[in-house]
Amino acid sequence: MNTYKKLFVISLVSILVVSSCKEKKKDTTPLTVKTTGKEVSFYAKDSMKVVGDLYEQNKSQPIILLFHQARSNAKGEYSTIIPKLTAKGFNVLAIDQRSGGQLFGNYNRTLAGSTYKNYSYCEAYPDLEAALLYISKQGYQGKKIVWGSSYSAALAIKLAHNHQNKIHGVLAFSPASGGPMKDCNADNLLKTLKTPLLLLRPSKEMGIESVKKQFNLATEFNHQTYIAKDGVHGSSMLVAVRTKTAVDDTWNKVFRFLETFK
Q: Where are the domains of the chain?
A: 38-259
Specify the pLDDT at position 34.
66
Specify the pLDDT at position 115.
96
Architecture of domain 38-259: 3-Layer(aba) Sandwich (3.40)
Q: Which residues of the chain have pLDDT under 70?
A: 1-35
For the entire predicted model, the pTM comes to 0.87
Separation between Cα atoms, residue 221 and residue 196, nearest integer Å: 11
Per-residue pLDDT of 176-198, as tens digits, reads 998 899 999 999 999 999 999 99
Specify the pLDDT at position 32.
60
Report the SS3 class of residue 245.
coil
Q: Residue 2: is it exposed, middle or buried by C-beta count within 10 angstroms (0-12/13-18/19+)?
A: exposed
